[in-house]
Chains A and B, each alone.
Chain A
């Protein structure tokens, strides 16, 4: 039996086809790793308090400039601050009205799925359903034993924990036994998901085909961060997901739900952007001290230049990955000061996103669905039960 097929009707029916109902189109937003990194141009390191408040300010700005999604990372070790995503997102929910709250990523390996089920259902109620999750495994070996796990079980943990998480959201009373946590007898996760509709889930992985396979199996979304690996690899991962999405009977490959990351830094003149961003690039965690900014920009989704260059580059992602539903930008990495990040978000909101919305809408065929939201999933569920 294929447990993925059970959700098929809901998920696919829950994706709003463009051209019908509320026109929403592609989702644009911001995702943050939440790193506390010294500003290489001043040597100043923000305090944890400053960084946490900066992330909130960035989220609020994301809504203010007309974007749709803010996603926070989850980490449990310095130099990162966002260990408690639902606390942060709950606070942001109270200060926004429209913004979709997401994660990049929620650790499906080291978190207890029972706690994920409850925390995010709670956030759904507080935010009136403006919640989805992107699940990831995390990549730092020592984090696993801090939570009683072993990194060598990364994939099996992601598989078992998510299978349980789905049941906790979909079944009121769960009896369960697995290999990676204590059994459950007659357990009810509280609160129940808002309107009986579980949050939409994206599975994120940079390099593991198993995770693309998992997303495809359930008909969930697949997100590739797209900024740390080369475009050729991203294309292979997304195409695997699309092919297997169709294989598991969720619909044609071009209707699978894909999200991509990107990273941009803009000034009116591209030379100014390069000059200002280079010290941040050269010293950045992950890729600093390696390839040149120019080489890395050519290979990955990083764009440092004018707003028009960002528009042009972002439109190429569609050629790489097919029509996709969610575009998130990393804006606050590598020690950029908050003031600069907020300026960047203004430029993004004023000069880039409106053009991208129009251009993507013009290029996307009508049969390609939008990313599911609480409203669309709820409508689909009502249709099924009617």
Chain B
């Protein structure tokens, strides 16, 4: 049985956190969907709160400290990414953004990605579409069509006329699994291992 690495990023603040709960549900559904393809998921969950100071330091100093390195490596080395944030002021929270600010250019190119968010009211649900999806588009991640927003009522029976949360989770996870199985993210080239030969630089390439 082949395997694929799935990195799960939660920018939840509280403990317990509904953002983390959503992230875990998305990860479990993705694991199940991959299993249907005969693929084992190796899931690594990152709680950004635990790295908050290191993330600020990375932004201020420009380099990733050793404590944060496993987080960055988990995200950049994953075959698929599940990124979940609470909604703050109609957008992702600052903690979520710090992680993506700390990544090197190009490391998410073509990365199959599922985005999710939680919020205090269902009226924030489009934050995923007007804030998180454009961020991921800029980073050249390939984001599945279904983004999953969990409002307070979703943890109960859901709102009238809205598909139940577990159905939306299953659909999104299925889309991510299809992408991951069909197109594993290529390992990013390491410019320190294989630099552009100087002859090419001299020719202006």
Contact = CB atoms under 8 A, between A and B. Distances in A.
Interface of A: 2-4, 155-156, 159-160, 163, 179, 207, 209-210, 212-214, 216-217, 228-230, 232-233, 236-237, 239-240, 244, 248, 286-287, 289-291, 295-296, 299
Interface string B107-128: 0000000000000000000000
B66 interface: yes
Given A209-B196, A299-B65, A299-B66, 14 more contacts: A159-B198, A159-B201, A159-B204, A160-B204, A209-B195, A213-B196, A213-B197, A214-B201, A228-B62, A228-B63, A230-B63, A230-B65, A240-B195, A287-B61
Contacts of B196: 209-210, 213
Given A229-B62, A290-B57, A237 B198 contact: no
Interface string B167-205: 000000000000000000000000110011111011010
A286 B202 contact: no
13 contacts: A3-B202, A156-B201, A159-B198, A163-B202, A213-B195, A213-B196, A213-B201, A217-B198, A228-B63, A229-B63, A230-B65, A233-B63, A286-B61
B60 interface: yes
A290 B56 contact: yes
A299 to B, nearest CB: 6
The SS class assigned to the A binding surface is: helix
A237 B61 contact: no
A353 B204 CA distance: 43
Contacts of A296: 61
Chain B interface category by residue count:
10 to 19
Contacts of B63: 228-230, 233
Nearest to B199: A2
B57 A291 contact: yes
A289 B60 contact: yes
What 9 A-B pairs are tightest by C-beta distance, nearest first? A290-B60, A217-B198, A209-B191, A291-B57, A229-B63, A209-B195, A236-B192, A213-B195, A290-B57
Interface string B50-63: 00000011001111
Given A230-B65, A289-B60, A290-B56, A213 B198 contact: yes
Contacts of B192: 209, 236-237, 239-240
A2 B200 CA distance: 12
B204 A156 contact: yes
Contacts of A287: 60-61
Nearest to A299: B65
Given A229-B63, A291-B65, A210 B195 contact: yes
Contact of A230 (B66, B195, B197, B204): B66
A300 to B, nearest CB: 9
B195 A212 contact: yes
Contact of B204 (A179, A214, A217): A179
Contacts of A291: 57, 60-61, 65
Nearest to B58: A290
Contacts of A217: 198
Nearest to A217: B198
A213 B199 CA distance: 10
Contacts of A240: 192, 195
A379 B64 CA distance: 45
A236 B64 CA distance: 14
Contacts of B202: 3, 159, 163
